[in-house]
């Protein structure tokens, strides 16, 4: 029996993206009729990739232990699948479970959808098996590139980063951009971070492998222009110069920008890019940052017109990234002139000179257009003129929201309409609490093309991630480290 109520309940449970009315999904579900999902169940996997059934078998064993269903591989696909490598179909009924997909990626997404809907069998003291609602789904993503952008601050617990990566995969994002914020433990340049960085090369390799297994590719970021402090500007901290003043020549006075006319800066940046790219497993993208830069001010940099200097800098690094078999990504804001009336109400931080980069940068650089609806976080609009501008200029453009949740669906729809590159959910220093839930859930739905639905799916998914990580520390549960601030119960009188 298909009812509005049952669909909304299932959507609430199932985390990302198969609502009635979405362009890519067909979903029927009877939330009153559950069928077994346990050791008596056979999951038939129809997928041309023989690795898919093996992957599913090992993960069902990990997730459901002794109650894991048996997996049976079938090469031929009987279901009418939507187009695309990531499309999937799944059915559950009394005869068992069937998953159909063209690739392992589709099998992964199908298994995550089912996992989000499976609950423990009722009526016992401890779990004695699992059940799943009777359902039929076909699904495919709205956008092929769906990323979260994660900030590895000194204040962020390493477990939080792993939880965020695993949760993003479970919500069917397929990329995570990792920005180190002074926490990357470079061996080539051990001065380029705060003391005792937790983003060690071994930890990065471990997370990259986890991501690869779960279907989410990690992309490194290095701020190669402004934001060279690797610290938030509002704190006046500098991850390098506060404790190691001898590296001053690499930065502009004040330290916000790199001194890009310095050949030593160019050497350092290329060596860091190479080290991080290799450490991340040579992924197909590398993010160079490049947002919110100030005009260069040192006596050497000002000898060259700013547009020429910056264009040469970014183009050179983009070519270096390309020589490593990857594509550069940059934030968009320096490419739009501050004061240009066309961009009123949109993020635009460039000068007349840096705005010329929109004509001079190589067209394979991916422009990450971050629009946060400042002043009206509830803004919804159908057209995103800055994104349309970059598309017309010939760039691949990604729409990047933050906490403006209501804007996410229309933004993703617009990117899909203009044939844009993808969608990047930025999280900054808000990867906690209700903000984390709102950002992840709204972005996941938007990127999969469905109206947003909220419910218990975030907390269920977050708990699954904790189980997968075998979390044992109170601080790494829930979406906040503390229920009340530490010291709250101390009587200071
Ligand atoms: Zn300089």
Per-residue pLDDT at 493: 62
pLDDT above 50 (res 16): no
Calculate how far, in angstroms, residue 238's C-alpha sits from the geometric centre of ligand 1: 17
Calculate how far, in angstroms, residue 31's C-alpha sits from the geometric centre of ligand 1: 63
Calculate how far, in angstroms, residue 271's C-alpha sits from the geometric centre of ligand 1: 19
- What's the chain's Rg over C-alpha atoms? 24
Please say whether the beta carbons of 158 and 203 come within 8 A: yes
Please say whether the beta carbons of 442 and 410 come within 8 A: no
CA 270, 271, 276, 277 torsion-angle sign:
positive
Calculate how far, in angstroms, residue 263's C-alpha sits from the geometric centre of ligand 1: 10
Please say whether the beta carbons of 386 and 371 come within 8 A: yes
Calculate how far, in angstroms, residue 19's C-alpha sits from the geometric centre of ligand 1: 53
Share of the chain above pLDDT 90, in %: 87
Please say whether the beta carbons of 465 and 115 come within 8 A: no
Per-residue pLDDT at 31: 86
Distances from the Cα of 468 to the Cα of 62, 175, 211, 415, 488, angstroms:
8, 19, 13, 34, 32
Three-state SS for 279-296 is HCCCCCEEECCCCCCCCC
Instruction: Tell which residue, 173, 139, 111, 191, has the closest CA to residue 27.
Output: 139
pLDDT above 90 (res 490): no
Beta strands at 130-139 and 26-36: parallel, antiparallel or unpaired: antiparallel
Calculate how far, in angstroms, residue 257's C-alpha sits from the geometric centre of ligand 1: 8
Mean pLDDT check: name the lowest of 17-26, 168-177, 292-301, 311-320. 17-26
Where helices occur in 291-432 by DSSP H, the ranges are 306-323, 352-355, 357-360, 385-393, 405-418
Calculate how far, in angstroms, residue 350's C-alpha sits from the geometric centre of ligand 1: 18
Tokens of 351: 């000068």
Share of the chain above pLDDT 70, in %: 95
Per-residue pLDDT at 375: 79
Please say whether the beta carbons of 67 and 38 come within 8 A: yes
Q: Which residue reads 């064993």 in tokens?
A: 61
Q: Is 422 helix (H, G, I), strand (E, B) or coil?
A: strand
Calculate how far, in angstroms, residue 325's C-alpha sits from the geometric centre of ligand 1: 29
Beta-carbon-side half-sphere exposure of residue 48 (alpha carbons within 13 Å): 3
Q: Is 425 helix (H, G, I), strand (E, B) or coil?
A: strand
Calculate how far, in angstroms, residue 141's C-alpha sits from the geometric centre of ligand 1: 44
Per-residue pLDDT at 255: 97
Per-residue pLDDT at 76: 74
Mean pLDDT check: name the lowest of 17-31, 56-70, 352-366, 374-388. 17-31
Per-residue pLDDT at 486: 83
Per-residue pLDDT at 18: 41
Question: pLDDT tens for residues 184-232?
Answer: 999 999 999 999 999 999 999 999 999 999 999 999 999 999 999 999 9
Distances from the Cα of 40 to the Cα of 83, 94, 119, 404, angstroms:
32, 11, 16, 45
Per-residue pLDDT at 25: 81
Q: Is 30 helix (H, G, I), strand (E, B) or coil?
A: strand
Transcribe 152-205 into DSSP letters.
--TTS-HHHHHHHHHHHHHTT--EEEEE-TT-B--SS-TTSS-SS-SB-HHHHH
Q: In residues, how long is the chain?
A: 493
Q: Is 51 helix (H, G, I), strand (E, B) or coil?
A: helix
pLDDT above 70 (res 1): no
Calculate how far, in angstroms, residue 355's C-alpha sits from the geometric centre of ligand 1: 20
Per-residue pLDDT at 22: 59
Q: Is 451 helix (H, G, I), strand (E, B) or coil?
A: coil
Confidence of residue 360 (pLDDT cuts 50, 70, 90): very high
Determine the average pLDDT of the residues in 29-38: 94
Instruction: Give the Cα separation of 243 and 26 in Å (integer).
Output: 57
pLDDT above 50 (res 389): yes
Mean pLDDT, the chain, as a whole number? 93
pLDDT above 50 (res 318): yes
pLDDT above 90 (res 139): yes
pLDDT above 60 (res 13): no
Per-residue pLDDT at 3: 34
pLDDT above 70 (res 2): no
Determine the average pLDDT of the residues in 379-398: 96
Calculate how far, in angstroms, residue 305's C-alpha sits from the geometric centre of ligand 1: 12
Domains and CATH numbers, the chain: 4-139 (3.30.379.10), 145-476 (3.20.20.80)
Calculate how far, in angstroms, residue 213's C-alpha sits from the geometric centre of ligand 1: 43
* Phi then psi dihedrals of residue 30, to 5 deg: -110, 100
Calculate how far, in angstroms, residue 438's C-alpha sits from the geometric centre of ligand 1: 41
Calculate how far, in angstroms, residue 298's C-alpha sits from the geometric centre of ligand 1: 4
Question: pLDDT tens for residues 148-166?
Answer: 999 999 999 999 999 999 9
CA 382, 140, 207, 367 torsion-angle sign:
negative
Beta-carbon-side half-sphere exposure of residue 124 (alpha carbons within 13 Å): 9
Confidence of residue 9 (pLDDT cuts 50, 70, 90): very low
For the ranges 18-22, 334-338, 371-375, 379-383, the one whose mean pLDDT is highest:
334-338
Per-residue pLDDT at 55: 98
Question: pLDDT tens for residues 412-471?
Answer: 999 999 999 999 999 999 999 999 999 999 999 999 998 777 677 899 999 999 999 999
């Amino acid at each position: 029996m298909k009812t509005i109520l049952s669909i909304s309940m299932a959507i609430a449970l199932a985390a990302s993206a198969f609502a009635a009315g979405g362009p890519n999904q067909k979903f029927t579900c009877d939330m009153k009729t559950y069928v077994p999902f346990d050791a008596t169940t056979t999951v038939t996997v129809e997928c041309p990739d023989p690795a898919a059934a093996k992957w599913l078998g090992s993960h069902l064993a990990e997730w459901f232990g002794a109650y894991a269903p048996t997996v049976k591989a079938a090469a031929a696909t009987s279901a009418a699948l939507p187009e695309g490598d990531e499309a999937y179909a799944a059915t559950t009924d009394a005869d068992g479970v069937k998953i159909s997909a063209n690739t392992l990626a589709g099998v992964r997404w199908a298994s995550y959808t089912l996992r989000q809907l499976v609950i423990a069998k009722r009526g016992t003291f401890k779990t004695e098996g699992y059940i799943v609602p009777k359902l039929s789904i076909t699904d495919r993503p709205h956008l092929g590139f769906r990323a979260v952008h994660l900030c590895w601050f000194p204040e962020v617990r390493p477990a939080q980063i792993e939880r965020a990566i695993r949760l993003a995969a479970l919500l069917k994002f397929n990329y995570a951009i990792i920005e180190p914020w002074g926490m990357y433990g470079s061996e080539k340049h051990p001065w380029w971070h705060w003391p005792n960085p937790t983003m060690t090369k071994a930890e990065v390799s471990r997370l990259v492998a986890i991501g690869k297994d779960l279907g989410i590719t990690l992309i490194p970021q290095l701020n190669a222009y402004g934001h060279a402090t690797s610290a938030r500007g509002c704190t006046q901290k500098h991850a390098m110069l506060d404790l190691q003043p001898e590296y001053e020549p690499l930065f502009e006075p004040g330290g916000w920008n790199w001194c890009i006319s310095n050949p030593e800066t160019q050497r350092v940046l290329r060596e860091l890019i190479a080290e991080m790219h290799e450490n991340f497993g040579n992924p197909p993208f590398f993010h160079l940052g490049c947002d919110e830069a100030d005009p260069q001010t040192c006596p050497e940099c000002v000898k060259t017109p700013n547009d020429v200097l910056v264009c040469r800098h970014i183009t050179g690094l983009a070519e270096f990234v390309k020589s490593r078999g990857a594509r550069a990504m940059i934030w968009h804001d320096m490419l739009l002139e501050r004061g240009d009336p066309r961009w009123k109400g949109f993020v635009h931080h460039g000068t007349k000179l840096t705005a010329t980069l929109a004509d001079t940068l190589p067209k394979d650089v991916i422009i990450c257009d971050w629009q946060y609806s400042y002043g009206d976080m509830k803004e919804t609009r159908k057209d995103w003129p800055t994104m349309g501008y970059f598309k017309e200029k010939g760039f691949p453009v990604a729409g990047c929201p933050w906490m403006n949740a209501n804007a996410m669906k229309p933004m993703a729809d617009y990117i899909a309409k203009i044939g844009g590159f993808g969608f990047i959910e930025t999280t900054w220093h808000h990867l906690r609490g209700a903000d984390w839930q709102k950002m992840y859930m709204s972005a996941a739905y938007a990127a999969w093309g469905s109206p947003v639905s909220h419910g218990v799916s975030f907390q269920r998914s977050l708990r699954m991630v904790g189980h997968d990580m075998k979390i044992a520390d109170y601080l790494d549960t829930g979406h906040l480290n503390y229920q009340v601030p530490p010291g709250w119960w101390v009587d200071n009188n």
